[in-house]
Structure 1
Amino acid sequence: MKITGVKGMNDILPAAVGRWHEMERLAREVFHLYGYREVRTPAVEHAALFARGVGEATDIVNKEMYVFEDKGEELLALRPEGTAGTVRAFIEHGCHVEGLQKWFYIGPMFRRERPQKGRYRQFHQIGCEAFGAGQPAVDVEQIALLADLFSRLGVTTDLKLNSVGDAACRPAYLASLKGYLQGHAGALCADCRDRIERNPLRVLDCKVESCQPVLQGAPRLLDALCQGCKDHLGAVTSGLDALGVAYRLDPRLVRGLDYYTRTAYEFASDALGSQSAVAGGGRYDGLVETLGGQPTPGIGFALGQERLALILEAIGRAPPEQGPAVFFLSADEAGAKEALRRASQLRKLGIACDLDPRGGKMKTQFKQAERVGARYAVVLGGNEAASGEAKLKDLATREELPVRLDDLAERLRE
């Protein structure tokens, strides 16, 4: 019986991994420039963490989380997002006493949602979280960081910005929105009708065409903000203006998780056809306290690596060279032994090299050298092993140059 991969999971093969290495390398580089340090949290957490943090009324908790009972009868979950676990670690290890904390993470998440292009049931995110600063300057800096990363990757994005209010102004707005949606429920899709009672803000994010006329007429949260939220949003927009980060205000932009307050933002790209989100985040000033910690403001974002990899492929950004510098081909048994010896020497000097331990026809070995992306090839046989000299063949230009095997490391470095 042939065993296949689990539906909705995705293999990332060697030919595609180069783009992932590139985005992760650049992400780490940019995060370092902005003072963010890496944190690694478990893929498995108590299910209650996400119910309290993400929100019991969200689709993630209601429909999409992988929840199971372990042998100790604890209810556990595969993490569906990165923020709640990062906040849990911040609280559990008493990091609030260390002042402002700026962390980033890279890793897999899990949601049992309908698989589609660029979205899988095991997916990967790169995210940042900043704890301890409620000032809008940290919002500006984090958005600028993400814009900087996309610029270095060569990805053109559209930044949408909104405020989702706070405890002072959102309750009154939600009551107004709920009343409006109830009055137009007959014109909404089934998902929107279901969300009216348990999560009305998410109705604004619906993409179903038939719902759009109703949503266009819905009350705007921007018009209902309290003065504190207005001032915060104004400081964020003026800060982005000062840094030259382009954005547009989108009154219908909401985040799908309950913990967001004030700033909400999203980066979208049309490289895959229709414009779609590739990263998003916002402020969550009450989340640390909700999960049992000291009152601590926070803000963070998550970037979808699968979606970004598709965008990099669509814009023609090739994976960086990953092949070995040189591939040794053996013409006979003596050449095979010499190839192993020379490969060992080069590897100790930090030079990547490869060979085909099967030997065989030269044509087959050359095909393998090209398959692994080698830059150069060297054919070794008994004569080359005895003389210490061979030919260095450029696999791109097919040019051959004589080389002393003892000088090979220096020639490759040149």
Structure 2
Amino acid sequence: MKFKAPRGTNDILPPATLKWQYIEEKTHEVFSNYNYHEIRTPIFEYTELFQRGIGEVTDIVEKEMYTFEDKGGRSLTLRPEGTASVIRSFLENKIYGQAQPTKYYYIGPMFRYERPQSGRFRQFHQLGVEAIASNDPALDAEIISLGIRLLQKFGLNELELNLNSVGCQECRPDYVAKLKEYLTKNKEQLCDNCKSRIERSPLRVLDCKNKNCQSVINSAPKITENLCSSCDEHFKEVQSYLDILEIDYQINPLLVRGLDYYTNTAFEIKDNALGAQDTIFGGGRYNGLAEEIGNRDVPGIGFALGIERLLLSLEAKDIKLPVEAGVDLYITVIGAKAKRESFKLLDKLRSSGFKTEMDYLDRGVGSQMKSADRMNAEYTIIIGEDELNKNAATIRNMKSGTEKEIKLTNLLEEMKQLVAKEEN
């Protein structure tokens, strides 16, 4: 029997993993500059957390969650997103008793049973941020700018920010009633999925990509024209802070996002180079989430960015991340005695910070040199009994082909000098 990775999952292999590591390193760096701190939550949670937090009539909860019973009969779910877990942790660990606001970020795998396609998998990876316990519109702008600044670090500058407000518990019910009335009048023009959502979750209809539905949706009542004074003021303030940061945006009153916990600000960052799946990251404010899952009124805002989508966007723009696979030195070995001495040298070089490799397959010199070439070795050196007896060998620059004779006892110092010259 031949085993394969489950559909919708991928092995991330070297040298591609170097790109992932670079993205993660830059994420740690940028988020730290904004005073966000990493949080690591469990891969699975009690199913009810996501049912209550995300919303029982969302596609994620209805169709996409990986849910199972453990041996104690408890229903558990592999996390389909990160925010509900972060808020659960905030409440459970009583972080609300500490200095506020709390600023977290996370990096890790999420799981949804979706139809695999470009940039969308059943196990996918997100990096995200959550700013908790403040309703300040400036924080909304900070969250948005944080995501944009991170993407700019990777060379993505042609981005489109879509912005909306989805109101609050005070003004949204009236808007939903108007929307429901409008959709009911035009029900026959909607797809079956949207028809079923009119009563259960009418806002989800605005997110439908069906062409027939789009013609109906475009003439639907706009939520931005039905905000209460508080929500309207908050939305204007968010825009004013984005203006201060000189971040361009366009108001998209049809933007509602796919989760029920959003309130007020909702946003998406798009890259048109990605085609149909053009959203790199999105998020918004979720002031009712903590109360829904923990009976505590704590506002919050955040976003999640798909790493697979980010890599696709970089590829589409032909942006090369500054990562290189290879080793500094490959030691080519001839004979058992030379192998023992080389093994000692290998350890010294590695301990001093040099990426070093040697042969472990007892191959001939030619095969070892080919292996060094495949590993993109910067330098190679051949060590045999003759070299040991003379305490000298020739080190070769694999790019230029230049060679230099060195004392084996000085190999460490020679490598330091060679690397220093390259850096200068």
TM-score (norm 2): 0.94
Paired amino acid for 2:115? R
Aligned-pair CA distance for 1:46? 0.2
Distance 1:273 1:75 in 2: 37
Task: Structure 1: state its 5+ residue gaps.
Answer: none
In 1, Cα distance between equivalents of 2:109 and 2:129: 15
Q: Which residue of 2 aligns with 1:336?
A: 339
Return the letter of the residue paired with 2:303: F
- Of 243, 246, 255, which residue of structure 2 is paired with 1:244? 246
Once the two structures are superposed, what CA deviation does each residue of 1:290-335 show, in whole Å capped at 9, x if it has no partner?
1114211100100001111122223233341232211111133333
Q: What residue number does 1:366 align with?
A: 369
Does the CA contact (< 8 Å) of 2:9 and 2:122 recur in 1? Answer: yes
Q: Tell me the equivalent position of 2:183.
A: 181
Q: What is residue 129 of structure 1 aligned with on the other side? A: 130
2:232 aligns with 230
Question: Which shifted more, 398-407 or 301-310?
Answer: 398-407
Q: Which moved more, 1:185-194 or 1:17-26?
A: 185-194
Aligned to 1:271: 273
- The 3 A distance-change label for structure 1 pair 207 and 370 is farther
* Residue number in structure 2 paired with 1:296: 298
Residues 340, 59 of structure 1: alpha-carbon distance in 2 compared, 3 angstrom cutoff: same
1:103 aligns with 2:104: yes
Counterpart amino acid of residue 46 in structure 1: Y
Report if aligned partners of 2:119, 2:277 keep a CA contact under 8 Å in 1.
Answer: no
Q: CA separation of 1:36/1:362 partners in 2, compared to 1, >3 Å: closer, same or farther?
A: same
Partner of 1:390: 393
Aligned residues: 414
Does the aligned pair in 2 maintain the 1:267–1:277 contact within 8 Å?
yes
Q: Name 2:121's counterpart in structure 1.
A: 120
**Aligned residue number for residue 215 of structure 1:** 217
Q: Which amino acid aligns with 1:205?
A: D
1:159-192 CA-to-partner distances (Å, cap 9, x unmatched) read 1111111011111111111111122122122222
- Structure 1 position 324 matched with structure 2 position 335: no
Cα distance change of structure 1 residues 399 and 197 upon mapping to structure 2, 3 Å threshold: farther
**Partner of residue 376, structure 1:** 379
The 3-state SS of whatever aligns with 2:108 is strand
One-letter amino acid of the structure 2 residue matched with residue 281 of structure 1? G
Farther off after superposition, 391-400 or 76-85: 391-400
Match of 2:419 in 1: 413
Distance 1:160 1:285 in 2: 20
Query: Residues 15-66 of structure 1: CA distance to partner in whole angstroms, max 9, x if unpaired?
Result: 2111111111111111000000000000010000000100001010111001
Q: Which moved more, 1:60-69 or 1:286-295?
A: 286-295
**Match of 2:29?**
29
Q: Which residue of 2 aligns with 1:49?
A: 49
Q: 1:383 to 1:411 in 2, by over 3 A?
A: farther
CA distance in structure 2 between the partners assigned to 1:176 and 1:113 by the alignment:
32
Structure 1 position 153, deviation (Å): 0.6
- Give, in whole Å, the separation in 1 of the partners of 2:78 and 2:138: 34
CA distance in 2, matches of 1:272, 1:183: 35
1:362: Cα distance to partner? 2.6
Partner-residue secondary structure (3-state), 1:113: coil
Instruction: Please give the alpha-carbon distance, in whole angstroms, between the structure 1 residues aligned to 2:4 and 2:194.
Output: 36
Cα distance change of structure 1 residues 87 and 328 upon mapping to structure 2, 3 Å threshold:
same
Matched, 1:346 2:349: yes
Asked whether the 8 Å contact 1:325–1:412 carries over to 2, the reply is no
Question: 2:198 matched to 1:196?
Answer: yes
Alpha-carbon distance between aligned partners in 2 of 1:371 and 1:45, rounded to the nearest angstrom = 44
SS of the residue 1:162 aligns to: strand
Q: Within 2, Cα distance between the matches of 1:282 and 1:386?
A: 70
Identity %, equivalent residues? 45
Counterpart contact for 2:31–2:146, Cα < 8 Å: yes
Deviations 1:55-104 (A, max 9, x none): 00101011100111111111111000000001000000000011210000
Q: Distance in 1 between matches of 2:316 and 2:405?
A: 41
Residues 382 and 394 in structure 2, CA contact (< 8 A), matched pair in contact too: yes
Contact 1:44/1:77 (CA < 8 Å) preserved in 2?
Answer: yes
1:76 alignment partner, SS class? strand
Secondary structure, in 3 states, of the residue corresponding to 1:258?
coil
The 10-residue stretch of structure 1 (280-289 or 366-375) with the greater mean CA deviation from structure 2: 366-375
Amino acid at match of 1:133: S
| 1:343/1:189 CA distance change after superposition, 3 Å | same
The one of 159, 166, 171 aligned to 2:168: 166
* RMSD, aligned α-carbons: 1.5
The 2-side partners of 1:16 and 1:92 are apart by 37
Equivalent-residue separation in structure 1 for 2:160 and 2:374 (angstroms): 38
Q: Given the superposition, is the C-alpha separation of residues 337 and 313 from structure 1 closer, same or farther in structure 2, using an over 3 Å criterion?
A: farther
Hey, what does 1:283 align to over in structure 2? 285
Counterpart-to-counterpart distance in 2, 1:377 and 1:270? 45
CA distance, structure 1, for counterparts of residue 395 and residue 180 of structure 2: 73
Contact 1:161-1:266 at 8 Å conserved across structures: yes
Structure 2: segments with no counterpart, 5+ residues: none
- Report the AA paired with residue 118 of structure 1: G
Letter in 2 for 1:168: E
Greater Cα offset, 396-405 or 238-247:
396-405
